[in-house]
Amino acid sequence: MSDTSKRGWLIPIGGAEERSTDALILRRFMELCGGRDARILVIPTASELAETGPNYVSLFEEMGARSRYIPIDEREDCFAEEIVSTLERASGIFLTGGNQLRLSTILGGTPVARSIRDRFAKGVHVAGTSAGAAIVCEHMIAGGPTGPTPTENGVTMAPGLGLTNKAIVDQHFRQRDRLGRLLTALSYNPFATGLGIDEDTAAFISPRGTLEVVGSGAITVVDPSGLQHSSMHDASDQDPISLIGLTLHILTAGDHFNLETRQAQAITLN
């Protein structure tokens, strides 16, 4: 059995995180990575905007960390020895937002993806925002319609980086009304916990699987471990899905959830 205490922290962010004033989420990630000794590598592959990588590098450098980005735009870039060796020197890896299918089709099955998993297993912290948050899981939500009701065709799934198999993440959650597609994803196989992460909100997940909410929004936690009934196997195209026995928590800043025991804990204010 592997020693999970050696893993890095995993930080999926719901997108649109604060990047001015105190930049709470990004600053906390930087401090985890070593503060002024941090070496943060930005991977802007999900975005097709040329300024995405440099903008995050500037943010982390303004906070006092050392940072650089690697422009991985094609699959062949993921086989370059120089890029893989750059990952070996990072204390933190940051995956930007954009299109998660662009991320998975370019990185999937390459030395860069293997290196990210290896570095994470050895204690390097990995954060991702928006599309970068979706891909950290073993099973990635790649798309789906908006709305609160799970339906037979309510989500598109794809393989992710596999940094955790304990959770399925959806982002921009409340802002884009994505409860239905998260519930649909969980109905396929109610093993993982669903994490619907609002904008400017992050789940700081420790190596032991304890999650803390950081940011201005909320995380909707859907625990399917008590599921008693799902109609997914009988559903026809676009049918609504019946799910009975789910547990739902709404967690805000400072609240905790243990992905191993499935216990939620509210912050205690003195």
For residue 5, name the pLDDT band (cuts at 50, 70, 90).
low
For residue 161, name the pLDDT band (cuts at 50, 70, 90).
very high
104, 110, 112, 114: CA torsion to nearest 10: 100
219, 182, 147, 15: CA torsion to nearest 10: 50
Report whether pLDDT(88) > 90. Answer: yes
Q: Where are the alpha helices (DSSP H) in 89-191?
A: 100-107, 111-121, 131-134, 179-188
230 is catalytic: no
- Exposed, middle or buried by CB within 10 Å (0-12, 13-18, 19+), for 84? middle
Q: Which of 172, 187, 212, 249 is catalytic?
A: 172
The answer to whether residues 57 and 70 touch, using CB atoms and an 8 Å cutoff, is: no
How far is the C-alpha of 64 from the C-alpha of 72, rounded, in Å?
Answer: 25
pLDDT more than 90, % of the chain: 94
Rounded to two decimals, what is the model's pTM?
0.97
Mapped onto helix, strand or coil, the DSSP state of residue 183 is helix
Of the chain, the end-to-end C-alpha distance in Å amounts to 40
For residue 270, name the pLDDT band (cuts at 50, 70, 90).
low
Give the phi and the psi of residue 116 in degrees, each rounded to 5. -60, -45
Q: Which of 47, 130, 187, 230 is catalytic?
A: 130
CATH architecture type of domain 4-260: 3-Layer(aba) Sandwich (3.40)
pLDDT more than 70, % of the chain: 97
Q: Which of 17, 67, 199, 230 is catalytic?
A: 199
Report whether pLDDT(124) > 60. Answer: yes
61 is catalytic: no
- Per residue in 67-83, pLDDT tens? 999 999 999 999 999 99
Report whether pLDDT(1) > 50. Answer: no
Burial 154-185, CB ≥16 within 10 A → b, else e = bbebbebbbbbebbbbbbbbbeeebbbbbbbb
125 is catalytic: no
Report strand pairing: 167-170 vs 201-205.
unpaired
For residue 242, name the pLDDT band (cuts at 50, 70, 90).
very high
Range from 20-24, 248-252, 253-257 carrying the lowest mean pLDDT: 20-24
